[in-house]
Amino acid sequence: MEKIGILTGGGDCPGLNPVIRAVVRKGYNEGYEIMGIKNGWKGLIEGDYMKLDLASVSGILPKGGTILGTSRTNPYKKESDIQKVKDNYQNIGLMGLIAVGGEDTLGVAVKLINDGIITNIVGVPKTIDNDLSCTDYTFGFDTAINIATECIDRLHTTAESHHRIIVVEVMGRHAGWIATEAGIAGGADVILIPEIPIDIDEVCELIRRRHNRGKTFSIVVVAEGAHFKEGSMIIQEDKVDEFGHVRLGGVGEILGKEIEKHTGYETRISVLGHIQRGGSPTAFDRILGTRFGIRAVELIKEKKFGRMVALSGNKIIDVDMKEATKALKTVDMELYKIAKEFFG
């Protein structure tokens, strides 16, 4: 039996296990043996893997996270690791590899193909930020916005009871998809995203306008990667991960203090953080992950390597993985314009 490998890299998100399950079940039907590479690219560096059969994926459809584990390992940080990746790919006996991840994980896949290290790779787009190009949606995003929306709903009642401003910080490093869609769905009064610098005077004016109408509370949703005019992103520490990313966080705290200082209204901050990543995937993400996994195996069978599965409308298609990772997909300004219609 020919062997196909699958790995999940980068941040975890709901929907990874449905992809793994679909790959195993489709692979079994096509006569392939599926090998699960543990902890993303780290597993291929260390030769850490497990055989996946129907029994091993039974019952994982509703589970969040990934049974294979994940890491933010970049094999290009050490020259010796690239050779280990190549050697272990061959030692496991793989004829193809399915890489499930976001811009960093799939960016490594593209580089391995271009460098001739491993050429038989197909990609599956995963990120709660929904910022990968060439696909309408990535799985994990729908679950994240549903969780964020529920949290915003709950914060409405306490904000109204105490006549407070509540700043809700959600994830979104370079793209504010979560903030925009959860903010619209949750009825936020102000939505702030990385694509548009924060104008604190405008924010405070919107809040004052609400108070003048007799609304003594407001909900402000801000993406973690949002920044103030003539400023940079707010970070927790200068240390970077293996892909050069700093740890973001803190914009909500600073924003809350500025709002309280400028308006005099009592302000509280709620940082949703990894809550958005956890728990059971929505029905949409389970179905999308399943469809992605099935198509990924079909691409391997068709030897259409260097491709990434994608959603276009309601169709599952495949696109050039290099094109999909070339630039991030930022928020559609038409959608943000809709959000602004209800600001203040």
What domain count does the chain have?
A: 2
Q: Does 135 share its domain with 12? A: yes
Q: Does 180 share its domain with 153? A: yes
Q: Does 12 share its domain with 110? A: yes
Q: How confident is the model at residue 1 (pLDDT cuts 50, 70, 90)?
A: confident
Q: What is the pLDDT of residue 2?
A: 97
Q: Residue 311: inside a domain, yes or no? A: yes
Q: Which helix (H) or strand (E) holds 94?
A: strand 94-101
Overall average pLDDT of the 136-162 stretch: 96
Higher pLDDT, 344 or 1: 1
Q: Which of 12, 81, 129, 285 is an active site residue?
A: 129
Q: CA 108 to CA 198: how far, in whole Å?
A: 33
pTM: 0.92
Q: Residue 340: inside a domain, yes or no? A: no
Q: Residue 299: inside a domain, yes or no? A: yes
Higher pLDDT, 245 or 147: 147
Q: Is the pLDDT of residue 235 over 70?
A: no
Q: What is the pLDDT of residue 229?
A: 85
pLDDT, tens only, 54-103 = 999 999 999 999 999 999 999 999 989 999 999 999 999 999 999 999 99
129 is an active site residue: yes
Q: Does 309 share its domain with 232? A: no
Q: Is the pLDDT of residue 242 over 90?
A: no
Q: Within a 10 A sphere around the Cβ of 155, how many other Cβ atoms? A: 22
Q: Which helix (H) or strand (E) holds 162?
A: helix 141-162
Could you give the count of Cα atoms lying within 13 Å of 313 in the half-sphere of its Cβ?
1
CATH number at residue 91: 3.40.50.450
Q: Find the domain containing 31 and state its range.
A: 3-139+281-324
Q: How confident is the model at residue 342 (pLDDT cuts 50, 70, 90)?
A: confident
Average pLDDT of the chain?
93
pLDDT, tens only, 172-224 = 989 999 999 999 999 999 999 999 999 999 999 999 999 999 999 999 999 99
By the 8 A CB rule, do 44 and 98 touch?
A: no
Q: CA 284 to CA 290: how far, in whole Å?
A: 10
Q: Does 135 share its domain with 148? A: no
Q: Does 222 share its domain with 234? A: yes
Q: Does 231 share its domain with 269? A: yes
Q: Is the pLDDT of residue 233 over 70?
A: no
Q: Does 163 share its domain with 68? A: no
Write down which residue in 251, 278, 305 finishes a domain.
Answer: 278
Q: Is the pLDDT of residue 51 over 70?
A: yes
Q: How confident is the model at residue 149 (pLDDT cuts 50, 70, 90)?
A: very high
Q: CA 167 to CA 253: how far, in whole Å?
A: 8
CATH number at residue 164: 3.40.50.460
Q: CA 258 to CA 78: how far, in whole Å?
A: 43
Q: What is the pLDDT of residue 16?
A: 98
- Distance (Å) of CA 222 to CA 62, 75, 181, 210, 248: 29, 33, 12, 18, 13
Q: CA 191 to CA 179: how far, in whole Å?
A: 7
- Distance (Å) of CA 228 to CA 181, 195, 239, 311: 21, 11, 22, 34
Q: Does 167 share its domain with 67? A: no
pLDDT, tens only, 115-135 = 999 999 999 999 999 999 999
Q: Residue 342: inside a domain, yes or no? A: no
pLDDT, tens only, 150-161 = 999 999 999 999
Q: Residue 335: inside a domain, yes or no? A: no
Write down which residue in 278, 302, 332 finishes a domain.
Answer: 278
